[in-house]
Amino acid sequence: MNNTYLKPLRVTLDQWRTLQAVIEHGGFAQAARALQRSQSSISYTLARLQEQLGIALLKIEGRKAVLTDNGMVMLKRSRQLLQQANQLEALAAHLQQGWEAEVRLAVDAAYPTARLAQSLSAFHPKSRGCRLALHEGVLSSIQERLLNEQSDVIISPLVIPNYPVLELGRVALIAVAHPSHPLHRLARKLNMQDLQDSVQIMVGDAQQHYPSDGPAIGQPWTVASLSSAVSFALRGLGFAWLPQHLIEPELDAGRLRSLPLMQGSLRHQTFYLYTHNSPPGPATETLIQLIKEYATDPLFP
């Protein structure tokens, strides 16, 4: 066991604060006024600090106290220490007011990353030190985190009854395959019958939740992630309905092509935000409102 943190400290935060005040305000007298203490108290505090550390932090040049080389190093580190101490006290105050220490967010991987990133970027300066635990998955794996109370907020395309819900908007899914895939070589409009003899790449338990319109797909291959589905499609292993925002670079570069289906080549998946039945705390509510705001931002697909 590491006993480093069990050793008694030789110096206090007040001593480091006093050293900072002397440097920032330009001298002992000025620091005394800023801290509302006597000059002799300032002098004693810094003399004791240097004695306890066993190194000189200050030297007198003319009538002014300046930092030694060691003092410069120690002052820089002490600024970080005091900042963290202030943040710790502020966090305690926020917790006392009911502000959560952590918000657990689970998001389906098909939800547009740009929308999510913008929401989280806006949340950070308002978080008051609240930690964010983000989990990404697909379909039922996200739903289970809500049902098992492993996440406070989830974003999912599934309809989950008996939970508070907020509709976030739709995401376009496009039926695609590699340009050399046999379906493209047919060089005509395709119907669902044409798809039956081809491998359909599906993510997670998509077949359970989103059965295809018309005849059943003949050879569904299930993968664990959207990135795997994209990778398999790029290698010509099958066709897939994939989120448009995720594959736009591949479509633009011609590495994937939209399938010319008679109907159903473009689908839309509606996403919902769910919370537990108990009212969310202030940090969770702040995050929810930001997710809602950027879900409908026209600048993000």
The answer on 264 and 128 residing in a single domain is yes
The C-alpha angle with vertex 173 and arms to 177 and 105, in degrees rounded to 5, equals 125
* Comparison of pLDDT for 83 and 107, the residue scoring more: 107
Give CA separation, 247 vs 26, 84, 98, 200, 234, in Å.
59, 42, 42, 17, 10
The answer on 67 and 112 residing in a single domain is no
Q: pLDDT digits over 173-182, tens only? A: 999 999 999 9
Looking at residue 96, its pLDDT comes to: 56
Tokens 């050399």 correspond to 180
Residue 24 maps to which CATH number? 1.10.10.10
Q: In terms of residue numbers, what domain contains 66?
A: 4-96
Number of domains composing the chain: 2
The answer on 194 and 144 residing in a single domain is yes
* Comparison of pLDDT for 217 and 112, the residue scoring more: 112
What mean pLDDT comes out for the span 201-225?
66
The answer on 141 and 251 residing in a single domain is yes
Please check whether residue 249 is in contact with residue 301, taking contact to mean a CB–CB distance below 8 angstroms: no
Please check whether residue 194 is in contact with residue 225, taking contact to mean a CB–CB distance below 8 angstroms: no
Please check whether residue 154 is in contact with residue 147, taking contact to mean a CB–CB distance below 8 angstroms: no
The answer on 109 and 74 residing in a single domain is no
Task: Please give the Cα distance from 170 to 115 (Å, whole number).
Answer: 12
The answer on 264 and 120 residing in a single domain is yes
What mean pLDDT comes out for the span 1-8?
58
Q: pLDDT digits over 252-269, tens only? A: 999 999 999 998 899 899
Of 96, 123, 154, the one marking the end of a domain is 96
What mean pLDDT comes out for the span 84-100?
66
Looking at residue 300, its pLDDT comes to: 45
Residue 296: both structure tokens together: 């409908």
Is 80 exceeded by the pLDDT of residue 70? yes
* R_g (Cα) of the chain, nearest Å: 30
Looking at residue 103, its pLDDT comes to: 92
Which residue blocks in the chain are alpha helix, DSSP H? 13-25, 28-35, 39-53, 69-96, 113-123, 140-147, 182-185, 192-195, 206-209, 226-234, 244-253, 282-295
The answer on 107 and 80 residing in a single domain is no
What mean pLDDT comes out for the span 236-249?
94
Is 80 exceeded by the pLDDT of residue 2? no
List Cβ neighbours of 134 (8 Å cut-off, separation of 6 or more). 105, 106, 107, 120
The answer on 294 and 194 residing in a single domain is yes
Q: pLDDT digits over 130-140, tens only? A: 889 999 998 88
Looking at residue 62, its pLDDT comes to: 77
Q: pLDDT digits over 215-235, tens only? A: 336 588 889 889 999 999 999
Looking at residue 91, its pLDDT comes to: 58
Please check whether residue 50 is in contact with residue 57, taking contact to mean a CB–CB distance below 8 angstroms: yes
Is 50 exceeded by the pLDDT of residue 214? no
Residue 297 maps to which CATH number? 3.40.190.290
The C-alpha angle with vertex 230 and arms to 227 and 231, in degrees rounded to 5, equals 85
Lowest mean pLDDT among 2-11, 13-22, 98-107, 114-123: 2-11
What mean pLDDT comes out for the span 4-25?
80
DSSP class of residue 38 equals -
The answer on 138 and 64 residing in a single domain is no
Q: pLDDT digits over 157-196, tens only? A: 999 999 999 999 999 999 999 999 999 999 999 988 899 8
